Chain A
Amino acid sequence: MTRYVTAVLLALSGYIHADLYLHGYRVIPLVGPAFLLQASGSFAIAVLLLFGNALIPRLAAAGLAAGALGGFAMSRTVGIGTFIEHGFDPAPQALISVLAEIAVLALLVVAWRIQAKTAGARATS
């Protein structure tokens, strides 16, 4: 179940980045291509998560979510190249995207712990 919710949240983050890319962000150096990569990568990994619980899609999902959060933090502090933004602007996309990415990371941790616990129980039985 967590896998499907993770996929949906990742796709949501990808959709927000794709929408922002198409509505202005595409012209911003570094940020435009990064949004395109985040969006297409998120959609791709969301699809793969629906098909299986393999390590590679889970790692990629974590990387995409962490990367997006890292980019968000940089754009509010040191800037990305010559680009900087403040607060949760653009609203409401920035806040929704951040919450979705945090939830993706949390769900991946939960899934990983459940898997580790199950594997441990199997090994001891």
Chain B
Amino acid sequence: MTRRQLLRHTAWFGAAVVLTVAGGEVISHISGPAEAAATDPLADPHALRFVQVSDSHLGFKGTANTAVEQSFQHAINQVNALPFRPDFVMHTGDLTHLSTPAQFDQVKQMLSHLNTAQTLTVPGEHDSVDDAGHKYRADFGAGAAGDGWYSFDMKGVHFLALVNTLSLEKLGHLGTDQLEFIRKDVAKLSADTPIVVFSHIPLFEMYSAWGWGTDDAVQALSYLRRFSSVTCLNGHVHQLFTKTEGNITFHSATTTAYPLPKPGDGPAPTPVTLPAGKLADALGVREVAYRQGNPGLAVKDVKLA
């Protein structure tokens, strides 16, 4: 290669890099005012900011995590140490492992130490063992409709908290009453309202063979298709997973208790015992932020430090 050719290649390469960086800057600033987009919405005091915690399984005894209460306390401490006070903390189910009164009492006590304006929950199937969710609703169901579902609005976002763990056979199930609730609940909203849906079991088909899906979710999601931004946040699968279907983005959260295998990795979703020192990497909490005018939510999954 001659010196002239080298210079020419270098010039083309340099131009490509400069234009790529400039283009990237332009695209990442398009969705809003330059200054607003440049800052992290989680650092914006005017943004809606909340935390999702999931699958704490208080009362679990096993080698996968011999101290789930300690891990949950760790998660609570981590939320309380955030540089902002969350507008609310949502626990997406399996607060307890066996739904005993003592386990509910303990989880309620521990949740009361969260530094947040509001603590919200949806039930997991472990929160309704043998009693169709009566104890859960007695402790956490105030203000909810039906079997514990509810909705609310905050800072321009409409939230739905659904229950798909009570009538489940293999897959999660919402049921006719809850589907009707969803239909009526969102009918009054304009299509540009950001929607966030909480549920324990995924509303998308993550792995049906292990029950990681909801049999009537398609009906529920059909009511949400007209909205420009829909974010579904779930627990149950004890691992991070993201999927999009048109206007809907699904985010499965990890756990504060113990990991489960990846879909299809083994015969059943039984707790995975990790090598010593590796458990904290599999556990975590999720920070979520929304700034009005932005097209969607910012989701940040953080390991338990």
Give me the interface of A with B, judged by CB distance under 8 Å. Answer: 18, 21-29, 31, 36-37, 39-41, 43-45, 47-48, 52, 54-57, 60, 81-85, 89-91
Contacts and interface: CB of A to CB of B under 8 A. Distances in A.
8 contacts: A24-B244, A28-B244, A48-B16, A56-B16, A82-B252, A83-B241, A89-B245, A90-B246
B242 interface: yes
B210 interface: no
Contacts of A89: 244-246
B297 A29 contact: no
Given A44-B23, A54-B8, A23 B243 contact: no
B247 A24 contact: yes
Interface in B1-56: 8-9, 12-13, 15-16, 18-24, 26-28, 30-31
B128 interface: no
A57 B16 contact: yes
Interface string B228-253: 11000000000111111111010010
B296 A37 contact: no
Tier of interface size on chain B: 35 or more
A87 B258 CA distance: 32
Contact of B15 (A29, A43, A48, A83): A48
A39 B13 contact: no
Which 4 pairs across A and B sit closest by C-beta, in order of nearness?
A: A44-B19, A40-B23, A40-B24, A56-B12
Contacts of B28: 26, 36
Contacts of A25: 244
B8 A83 contact: no
Given A54-B9, A82-B241, A27 B296 contact: yes
